[in-house]
Structure formats: structure tokens, C-alpha cells
Amino acid sequence: MCPVSVLIADDHEIVRRGLRALIHEQPGWQVVAEAKDGRDAVAKAEEFKPDVAILDITMPSLNGLEATRQIAKLSPRTKVLILSIHESDQLIHKLVGAGARGYLLKADAGRHLITAVKALLANKTFFTPKVAQKLMDGHLDKAPKASEEEFSPITGRQREVLQLLAEGKSSKEVANILGITLKTAETHRSNLMRRLNCHSVTELVRYAIRNEIVEA
């Protein structure tokens, strides 16, 4: 049996510990890396090229959606399984468009995590039972034909900047985290406000919460 490598990314140690225990119960499966935020998850996915990356959707620095997009580009062979505390039809469509192969409610993880990972390893998809039932019943709105990127008023980089600003980071901190100049960070901030018609950081935060870029 070929060994299975897994990356776990969640900002809560107790969650990572629980997931790690479930993974290690499987013969030949190993957690090759753990991350506390989305940016670290992307870096470790690129470094370790795991078979499966289990990502929390609401991670600091870079959320699970943006992390999924970047992992899909940097480590295409890695299958991404998203963990969430709630269901969101719109978010599920965005995640699938970004490259996620599975979506599992944290409340279901104890019962279905291994099944979900096995499905992804077999090049199948896995959705938490309630979401899967909606899909079977046709209750989820059909995903738009055009990519989510085409509908978004901001770019991927701008979404990164927006999340950091919404988390309370200054332009200087944003520049340091993203490895860009302060002037570029400030330009991104100005462009965000103009494109989103926001006149303060508070309005940017509200936009980020409404669009599930950060959690309230």
C-alpha cells in the first residue's frame, strides 16, 4: 500500500490534534505538515506536495478559499478538502471553482473524515452529507458558467490585501506579509476602496464579512 501524505491547516490546536489522531489511525497514512494559517498552509503544500490538504475555511492571514486557489496552482496533485462549521451554497460553488474536491462540516468530521479523504484519493469528490443531499435533490443553485474570478470586482491579490486589512493589519504590515513595497500596499488599499465603493476600513471589513473573506 502506498503511503498517504496529509497536510492539516487550522488555527485551533485542538482541531489539528483531533484531525491528526484520525489520520494516524489509518495504516500508512501520515501528517507530513501542519499549519496555523492559510499562508503557511500554501507554503507547506508547495514544500511537501501532500496527497491531501485538509483546510479550515476561516483561517487567519489567508482564508481557505484563497489558500485553495494558490495550492491548486503550486501543487496541482494535492487534493483539497475544506472543513467548515456551516453550510453555504455560494461558498461551496466558489470552493469547487477554486479547485477544492471536498467540503466537510466540522461536526461531521469524526464520522466522515476518513471516508472523505479516501474519496479524494480515488479522484472522486466528497461533500458533507447534508450538502450532498442538496446536490442530489437539485436544491443548490447551478454554478455560474463563467469563473468566479470573472464575476469578482477584485483580483486575487486584492482579496489577500482585503483579508489582511479586515484582520486589522496596517499597510506596512500588509507589505511585509506579502513581500511588496509599502507604496504597492497603499495602492492596493486605495484601489480596493474605489472598486468596492468603500470609504473607510470599517466598510472594507463589512464587505469582507458579507463575502465570507473573513469571519465576523
pLDDT (0 to 100) of residue 147: 44
Q: 152-210 in CATH: which number?
A: 1.10.10.10
pLDDT (0 to 100) of residue 215: 73
pLDDT (0 to 100) of residue 214: 81
Q: 4-137 in CATH: which number?
A: 3.40.50.2300
Averaged pLDDT, 135-146? 52
pLDDT (0 to 100) of residue 146: 42
- Angle, vertex CA 75, rays to CA 172 and CA 169, nearest 5: 15
The residue extents of the domains of the chain are 4-137, 152-210
Mean pLDDT (the chain) is 87
Averaged pLDDT, 184-211? 88
Measured distance CA(101)–CA(61) in Å, rounded: 22
- What backbone torsions phi and psi does residue 158 show, to the nearest 5 degrees? -65, -35
Least confident of 15-19, 45-49, 77-81, 125-129: 125-129
Handedness of CA 85, 87, 90, 95 (dihedral sign): positive
151 vs 169 pLDDT, higher one:
169
Report pLDDT digits (tens) over 163-193: 999 889 999 999 999 999 999 999 999 999 9
Asked whether 211 and 163 are in contact (CB, 8 A), the reply is no
Measured distance CA(32)–CA(14) in Å, rounded: 18
